[in-house]
Structure formats: C-alpha cells, structure tokens
Amino acid sequence: MIDEEAEKKELARRYRNLLKVSTKVKSKADKAKVRKAFDVAVDAHKHMRRKSGEPYIYHPIEVARIVAEEIGLGTTSIICALLHDTVEDTDLNLDDIERMFSHKERIIIDGLTKISEVVDYTASMQAENFRKILLTLSDDVRVIIIKLADRLHNMRTLNAMSRDKQLKIASETLFLYAPLAHRLGLYALKTELEDLSLKYTEPQIYDEITAKLKKTQAVRTRFVNQFSIPIKQELERQGLKFEVKARTKSIYSIYNKIKNKNVTFEEVYDVFAIRIILDTKPEREKTECWNTYSIVTDFYQPNPDRLRDWLSTPRANGYESLHTTVMSPGGKWVEVQIRSKRMDDIAEKGYAAHWKYKEGGEESHFDAWINKIRDLLENPDSDAIDFIDDFKLNLFSEEIFIFTPKGEIRNLPKGSSALDFAFEIHSEVGSHCMGAKVNHKLVPLSTELKSGDQVEIITSKKQKPNESWLDYVITGKAKSKIKAALREDKKLLAEEGQIKFEKWLKKIGLKNTEENLKHIQALYREASPHELYIKFELERLNLDRIKNLKIEGGKIIGKAKEKKANNKLEETLKKRGKSEEMLVIGEKMDHFDYKISPCCNPIPGDEVFGFITISDGIKIHKINCPNAVDLMSHYAYRIVKARWTSQHEIAFLAGIKVTGIDEVGLVNKITMLISGELNVNMRSISFDSDDGIFEGKIMVYVHDTKHLTKLMAKLKSVEGVINVIRIDG
C-alpha cells in the first residue's frame, strides 16, 4: 500500500533541501525557474516508480542536489538535472523545453538524451557509442557533468538492481565515468564512483578493506593529532589562518596498490595524507603555501624525490597543490598536501565549475583538453576501438611539462616521445619531423621526454610518416594522424598499382573482368583488390602463379598447375581439422612462409602456435604471448597448431635479464662465461648500476629452450648474481 501523504511530505522536504544547497541560485527570477522545472518534472514523472519502489521523481531531485551541492553548478544545470529524463521517458519534447525555458536548456537536455540513447542499462557499452558520448562535449560540457551526477546517484542506489545489471553498470562506471570525472577535476566524484564500482565488482575485497580502515581509524586519528601539534603551533605563531585534515586514501586506490605492488593492506604506507588548507588571499597563496612547506620540513625530514609542485604548473584539469612526503618520528613516511581554500574547492568540486561559467569565462586548460578530444573525434576513419585506447591513455596518464624553444609550456602524458611533442605542436610539424633536439642535444624521434625538457623539432619537407612511427608515440593525436597518413599512402600505392596491374593483365592476354579479379584474389588470399594492387606495386606477388592458370579467350577457367610441394600451406590448412595434424617448424620450411613473431620471440622448445596473417605468411607465437588471448578470441579460425623439430644448426635470438650485487669484474665474469665457456654468440649486452645493484640485459643466440635454460643456470651460479630471468627481446 502506497502512503501518498507521506510521499508528498517527503517530496516537499527534498525540494526545500535542494533550494537550501543551491547557493548559486540567488535571484527571485532564478528561484522561480527552478520551481517551474521542479513542477514540470513532478508532473511528467507522476506515475513512474524506480526499481526500489520509490517515486521516480526522487532521482532527478537527487541528481539536481548533487549538481548544486557536490559540484557547485548554478541555475541552468539544476534545471537541466531536474528535467534530464523528461524528453526520453515522458510526453515532453525538446520544443516544450525551449518554450518553457530557453535554447540553452534545450541543447543540454538534448545532449543528455543522446547520451542516454547510447548508454542505457540494456545495451552494452560499445566503442562507437563512447565516441558519440564525447561528441556531445562539443555542445556543452555541463552535459557530461550532469551525466556524471546521474551516474553517481544510480551507483548509490545500485543495490535495487539484479546482479548482472550491477556488474555491467559498475564495470561501465570504472571504464568510462570515473576517468571522465578525474579528467574534469571532480575528485570527490571520481573517488566515490571508483569505490562504489569496487563494492559491486569485488564485494569481498571491498568489505575487507572497509573493515580494516574502520579498525585502524582511532590509531590514525591519534597519529595525525600528534604529528600536527608542532606544525599547528608554528602556523598560529605566524598568524596564519588554516585547517588541518587527514584524508584517507580511497578504498579503490588502496585495492589498486595492493594489487599492482603485490603488498598487503598493512604494507600500504600512504593509507592517509595530511592536508593543510590555508585561508588566504589569492595574491598570497603561493607564498604562504611555500612558507608552510618550510615549516613542515623544519620539523620533519622530507624525501626530496617525492616533492610535487602543482602550484607553479597546475595539472591540465586545474588541480593545484604542493605535495611532500616526510619522515615522522615513528619511522613512517607521511604525505603532506598544502593548498589554499580556493585550490581545495577546485580539487574537490572541479575546474569546470569555477572557470567555465564565470561571466566572460576564460579559455582555460579545460577547454584545451576538450579541443584535444575534438581533434581525435574529427578523424572519421579512426577505428573506434583504437580511439578508446588512445583516449583512455590520455585520460589516465600522469602529465609532464615540456618547454618549446621560445619557453612556452606544453602538457603531455607521461611516457611521451619527441615525436608526440612534434604532433602536439602541429600535425604538419609531426608529419615532417626528422629529428629533435632535447636540451640542445640531437636525439632520435623515439626518445622519451622528461618533465622540464626543452624540445626543438627539426623538420624536412621530404620526410613523411612510416609504420614504425606508431611504436614511438603514445598520444591519441599523434597515433590518429600517423594512421591517417599511412592510409593515404596506401591509397596512392593502390591507385598506381591498379593502373600497372591492368596493363600487365592485358599483356598476358587476360581480360580485366570482375570474375577474373575474384579468381586472382582467391589465388593470393587477398581480402580486397586494394591489397592486391598494393602488393603488385611493391612487387610482392609471385606472378608465375597467374601465368600457370588455365586461360581461354581472356578468361580464367581453371586452377594453377603448380607442383604439390609449393602448395604445402593450403594442404596444411585443409588438414587442420584433424587433431593429430600440426605445423612442424624447422623441417625444410622453404615450401611456405613462416616468421618468428617479434612480440614474444619464441625459440625451439617453447610451446607455440601458428597464426595465418593476410600478407605475411604464418607467424609463430608463444602460447603465453601477450597477444595470444586477443588472436585466439578474435581469429580462432586462423590459428594453426605448431611444434618444433630439433634444429641445432640454427641459432635463435633470446633475451636474458640478470640482476645482482655490483662487484668489480662481475660483468667480465658474465661475458667470459657466455662467450668463452659456453660458446654462445651475443648480439648485445647492456649493464646499469645504481647504488650497488646492477641490472644487465643480454641478447644471445641459442638453439632452443634447453640451451637457454642451461645458460641461465650457469649465470645464476656466478657469485653476486641474484636473479636471472628470460625476457621477450
């Protein structure tokens, strides 16, 4: 039985609460607009209920409250949050919205409706849909912010859903919404989205970490109080206004640390950080933050490698703060974050809320980020899955700051190369990039840049992108531009190849018909005429195979009269259905092409399989190759079983990593052992030493895994060597 009276009272209470927290809604006119939106929403959703059984209208009110209180947006956003589901779920349409409010509200609600069409609880999150979501960014970023608030409320009420829906929604939240919240600088939102996702994807781990945090809470509070006493006294003595808080690491980030660093909860040293928030005027912020840093480090010894200065160069999402890690009296490292009240607001509620909608808002870092995404979206040929990978890379990455020769700062993801920087400057600069000078020294394009490097790009009109460039870049912009250029090159090759191929057909008396072309495609196993023309232009086709076909009256009427020996690949593939048949690598392999795959460098003795490529014969991969899962799940029909024969006359390249205690003459001992005692040829050897620990990488030629295992065992026996492992070259 529904108690309508109680629900009416609850609705009125929620509305009053919404007005109370809507601090940006000040004028009478604005309050009237919000009331109007509320009434429209109540009326539109009056017969609808949520899965939990409560009235549906509670959901839009709650989304509006999150937008107003937790993110700090104003009237327009609150109105749109209240009405965000009306166009999709009720009889209202966009014209009604524009008539009752304005064009601005229409655009935002249209964006929200488009997103809902793309991401709902029934459809799976497709890559192409993700792209469509980001296209709405070009209309108004408030669309994304309200959508994040909508998702947050859905996550908070997820327990009413079935288990499979919970898993789907939680995974989608981790995949898309949490990174977006992070990039928009909405840290509080991002943290809660991640924690709630973990609650449903890994409930046991979530409960364990929550219980441990609860259990250690009192100890942490005592520690923070003791630690802050001398700092507080000195800050008060200097007349500074401040607040000291302890910020506990989120459950999700503790889980990540446990998983990635392979440690226990007790070994996570930075379970919490101490935050000092200064109440100061904008012009005094930096000075007082550094002054506070000086006070903290007077009492506690800092770790110089752990100083993070985001005051001088804020992160791209607007985050400003000064972080240092200091040693406490109990022998524990403690992270201290120093920032002003304004910086803390931006860190918690997001950059967009502060700058974007101020009167005559300025072109902020945030806009620059949105423009980067638009660059990616504007490339219509880029594969949607690639796009997601590129986008996520740019989303999750930490940043480095690079200077141009004129001293301008550019932000790039950590791990970017000189070539990434060239494309960041301009697509044309990237496409014609020949080399780079980093801090006035000439370096290769693949050189990884570090924060603070000054980079000058050297270009040449003759230079153009090639396949290997894709290995040097990590930014989405560089990848998409290189791929576009390579596609253009292939198109030109195909056009030239087609003209020459058609002339050649005429020369050997074959008509240029669709039927003949299909025969030739099948003969060379080419997926399209396009690929056939490219191979012809590059002279990679064995033309004798066409000459051996039966041709009458310019038509192909029969198969090739090739000798059986040349058709071993086809025979092998035909027999693949029988479990006892497999590709035997190493015995007179001249009858068909096979290559050792460079991604995992298998050697005889490794468990392997063959993968039939479209243009490169068969590639041999290790069973545990990083790409094996992808190949087997997407292209199972192109997998061939394979095994090795003994082949002592052939040497295969394998990589070994050796670590140990640095001693005089140790490198000499290792090299003497490899080349002298064991008669193994080395291709390359490199050793690095750091604080008494050395790490060496050696590329050697061996016959098979037995040979390699024997060599590794010998190396392990050398005094001073701690560990010897095989690496993929």
Joined together, the tokens standing for residue 399 give: 């940043």
List of E strands, 169-270: 242-248
- Residue 361, CA distances (Å) to 315, 371, 374, 445, 516 in order: 19, 16, 20, 38, 64
Same-domain check for residues 25 and 145: yes
Residues 6+ apart with CB under 8 A from 637: none
Residue 528 phi/psi, 5-degree rounding, is -150, 155
Per the listing, tokens 């919205």 go with 97
Considering the domain architecture, whether residues 225 and 194 belong to the same structural domain is answered as: no
115 C-beta neighbours (distance < 10 Å), count? 24
Q: Are strands 555-558 and 618-622 parallel, antiparallel or unpaired?
A: unpaired
- 7 catalytic? Reply is no
Is residue 76 domain-shared with residue 118, that is, in the same domain? yes
Assess whether 56 and 175 both reside in one domain.
yes
Phi, psi of 237 (to 5 degrees): -60, -35
- Tell me, yes or no, whether 114 and 237 share the same domain: no
Nearest-angstrom CA–CA distance, 544 and 173: 57
- Examine residue 494 and state whether it is found in any structural domain, yes or no: no
Last residue of a domain, one of 300, 321, 353: 353
Question: The domain containing residue 316 runs over which residues?
Answer: 211-353
CATH number reported for the structural domain that contains residue 228 in this entry: 3.30.460.10
* HEC readout, 180-203: HHHHCCCHHHHHHHHHHHHHHHCH
Contacts of 62 (CB under 8 A, 6+ apart): 14, 153
Comparing CA positions, the residue from 475, 478, 417 lying closest to residue 450 is: 417
**Enclosing H/E stretch for 443:** strand 441-443
* 358 found inside a domain: no
- How many C-beta neighbours within 10 Å does residue 84 have? 28
Please state, in angstroms and rounded to a whole number, the distance separating the CA atoms of residues 78 and 61: 9
What phi and psi values does residue 711 have, to the nearest 5 degrees? -65, -45
Residue 438 and residue 300: Cα distance in Å, rounded?
37
Q: What is the pLDDT of residues 132-188, one digit of tens each?
A: 555 555 556 778 888 899 999 999 999 888 887 888 888 878 877 887 787 777 888
Would residue 487 count as lying in a domain? Answer: no
Tally the domains of the chain: 4
Tell whether 18 and 141 lie within a shared domain.
Answer: yes
Measured between alpha carbons, how far is 365 from 516 in angstroms, rounded to an integer? 58
Residues 235 and 348 in one domain: yes
Predicted local distance difference test score (pLDDT) of residue 186: 80
* Measured distance CA(598)–CA(8) in Å, rounded: 68
- The answer to whether residues 334 and 262 belong to one domain is yes
Identify the pLDDT of residue 384.
47
Could you tell me whether strands 721-727 and 693-702 are parallel, antiparallel, or unpaired per DSSP bridges?
unpaired
CB 562 within 8 A of CB 548: yes
Beta bridge partners of 552: 555
H/E stretch holding 339 reads strand 333-340
Q: Are 157 and 63 in contact (CB under 8 A)?
A: no
In a domain, 465, yes or no: no
- Write down the pLDDT at residue 238: 92
Question: CA distances (Å), 449 to each of 414, 419, 439, 474, in order?
Answer: 8, 10, 10, 12
CATH number of the domain where residue 111 is located = 1.10.3210.10
Whether 633 and 701 share a structural domain: no
Whether residue 67 sits in one domain with residue 155: yes
545 φ/ψ angles, rounded to the nearest 5 degrees? -65, -35
With beta carbons less than 8 A apart as the criterion, state whether 30 and 45 touch: no
Q: Report the CATH number that the domain containing residue 696 is assigned in CATH.
A: 3.30.70.260
Q: Which of 54, 89, 662, 663 is catalytic?
A: 89
70 domain residue, yes or no: yes
Annotation marks residue 88 as catalytic? yes
Please choose, from the candidates 356, 351, 347, the residue with its C-alpha nearest in 3D space to the C-alpha of residue 188. 347
CA gap 668, 101 in Å, rounded: 80
Residue at which a domain ends, from 644, 661, 685:
644
Per-residue pLDDT at 360: 37
Is residue 551 a part of any domain in this protein?
no
Residues β-bridged to residue 698: 656, 685
Q: Which two tokens stand for residue 668?
A: 């000499």
Flag whether 366 is in a domain: no
236 and 347 co-located in one domain: yes
The strand pair at 433-438 and 441-443 is best described as: antiparallel
Among candidate residues 201, 223, 249, the one where a domain is terminated? 201
SS3 612: strand
**For residues 687-715, b (16+ Cβ closer than 10 Å) or e, as one string?**
eeeeeeebebebbbebbbbebbeebbebb
Average pLDDT by consecutive 10-residue portion of the chain (729 residues)? 81 89 85 91 87 87 90 86 86 88 86 66 46 55 85 91 83 80 80 93 90 89 91 93 89 87 76 90 91 93 86 79 88 88 80 45 49 53 51 59 79 89 91 86 86 85 86 87 86 86 79 76 73 77 70 67 44 46 56 74 81 80 79 73 64 83 76 73 77 80 82 86 80
Is residue 689 in some structural domain?
A: yes
**Predicted pLDDT of residue 135:** 53
Do 573 and 632 share a domain, yes or no?
yes
- For residues 19 and 41, what is the distance between their CA atoms, to the nearest angstrom? 15
How many whole angstroms separate alpha carbon 363 and alpha carbon 497? 48
Q: Catalytic: which of 30, 88, 202, 663?
A: 88
Dihedral angle over CA of 557, 559, 560, 561, nearest 10: -100
Give the CA diameter of the chain.
103
Residue among 260, 262, 265 nearest 208 (CA): 265
Q: How far apart are CA 569 and CA 554, in angstroms?
A: 29
